[in-house]
């Protein structure tokens, strides 16, 4: 069975940056996603279309087809009083924030000043090209419940 929309795909993969450093890996046959439901980055989903169990391949995904380019407009200074007073805020810490349309989003502390905290709403991998080594382990039809919920169950 080939990878196509409405199929559950199980992968083994290793993710590396452009310098060859391993950033993430799943090699035990437990990573599954619903193809066509935007559960994984677009560039990888496109590269998987048409593959079948047993296929192995390498693919370089440009930032624009992964987590997007870095957007300087997503970096802003927030008054220090917007953060809990009992927490020692440090660069690299992450917090949930409310986005401009009311959506919940993660922000990363970029800088701490006396009266403001500079936060970055970009995904940590925005602007980064991603390099995958992939093995397609299994492809199956999604259940009606998985299709209704838009993700894999079990």
Fold topology of 72-120? Thrombin, subunit H (2.40.10)
Predicted local distance difference test score (pLDDT) of residue 103: 82
Predicted local distance difference test score (pLDDT) of residue 133: 98
- How many residues are given for the chain? 154
Q: Please give the model's pTM, rounded to 2 decimal places.
A: 0.83
In angstroms, the first-to-last Cα distance of the chain is: 20
Q: Does domain 7-67+126-149 have CATH number 3.40.50.300?
A: no
Query: Where is 45: in which H helix or E strand?
Result: helix 42-48
- Look at residue 139 and tell me whether its pLDDT is greater than 90: yes
Question: From start to end of the chain, where are the E strands?
Answer: 7-16, 22-34, 56-61, 75-79, 94-98, 104-112, 116-120, 130-141
Residue 138 CA, distance from chain mean position: 21
* Per-domain residue ranges of the chain: 7-67+126-149, 72-120
- Look at residue 120 and tell me whether its pLDDT is greater than 90: yes
Which band of pLDDT confidence, cut at 50, 70 and 90, is reported for residue 105?
confident
In the three-class reduction of DSSP (H, G, I as helix; E, B as strand; rest coil), residue 2 is classed as coil
């Amino acid at each position: 069975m080939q990878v196509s929309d409405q199929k559950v795909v199980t992968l083994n993969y290793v993710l590396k940056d452009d310098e060859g450093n391993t950033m993430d890996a799943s090699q035990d046959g437990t990573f599954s996603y619903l193809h066509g439901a935007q559960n994984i980055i677009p560039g990888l989903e496109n590269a998987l279309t048409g593959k079948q169990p047993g296929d192995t391949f390498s693919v370089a995904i440009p930032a624009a087809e992964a987590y997007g380019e870095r957007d300087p407009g997503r970096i802003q200074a927030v008054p220090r009083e917007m953060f809990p007073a009992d927490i020692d805020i440090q660069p690299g810490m992450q917090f949930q924030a409310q986005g401009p349309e009311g959506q919940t989003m993660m922000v990363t502390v970029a800088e701490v000043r006396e009266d403001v905290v500079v936060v970055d709403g970009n995904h940590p991998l925005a602007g980064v090209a991603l390099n995958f080594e992939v093995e397609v382990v299994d492809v199956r039809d999604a259940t009606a419940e998985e299709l209704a919920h838009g993700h894999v169950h079990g």
